[in-house]
Structure 1
């Protein structure tokens, strides 16, 4: 999608879902930091990940959140894991859900991956708690 084109319905749905899950501040920062180089990528993830996958009705946002955290942790995608742990505030996934997902990671993807993801999740939850009391 280029600037001259009208966003597709899938893109519009994706943007709405992306904002609902990640929050307006996060998406606004991503959009503001977008350049001509990465704008096609931002459009792709908005339409494909958020519009095609996250907007599907089969899984709840909570279920998608849990699956996503487990996959990202298993793949060692630290920044994305942290972002999606933070997004649990908007998805309905609990801290216990995250713990259970990371236990699955330990068994199916390896203890080191789960151990590192647990460290990330603990840091994110501490930050979230500090923001609530600030």
Structure 2
């Protein structure tokens, strides 16, 4: 299998949004690590998730972040929660609002899923706080 080319209008549109939300470091590392097995999924996610859905005008990025945190909690996907906590903060969601999303999800999705999400949320908020302190200090 050969690597798909990471180019094209839809890919570039998605790459821009993906980097703005998740951060250039994470996205660049994900793409650099892509191989013949994982590259097709990276291309698909960048073009369709980020380039098609995240750029639609019907919801702002903050609302999309709220929804992602709730849905990822419902699906019990801590790895993806980790990525989307940073994205939510970049999209203007406050730490308090993130905690409220997880509490709301606990009632409707289950406490075990919410506990996993809250552990990841706390870890990521502490990491982002530390990074910001290092940048300003």
Say whether the fold is shared (TM-score over 0.5). Answer: yes
Please name the residue that 2:96 is paired with. Answer: 96
Counterpart among 2, 5, 15 of residue 4 in structure 2: 2
SS at match of 1:35: coil
How many residue pairs get aligned? The number is 132
Please name the residue that 2:84 is paired with. Answer: 84
RMSD: 1.6
Instruction: State the 1:94 CA deviation.
Output: 1.1
Instruction: State the 1:6 CA deviation.
Output: 5.2
- Write out per-residue CA displacement over residues 82-101 of structure 1, whole angstroms, 9 at most, x where no aligned residue: 11002223211111221121
The TM-score normalised by the length of structure 1 is 0.91
- Write out per-residue CA displacement over residues 30-86 of structure 1, whole angstroms, 9 at most, x where no aligned residue: 111011111110000001110111111111110001100111111111110011002
Q: Does 1:133 align with 2:133?
A: yes
Please name the residue that 2:43 is paired with. Answer: 43
5+ long unaligned stretches in structure 2? none
Instruction: State the 1:132 CA deviation.
Output: 1.9
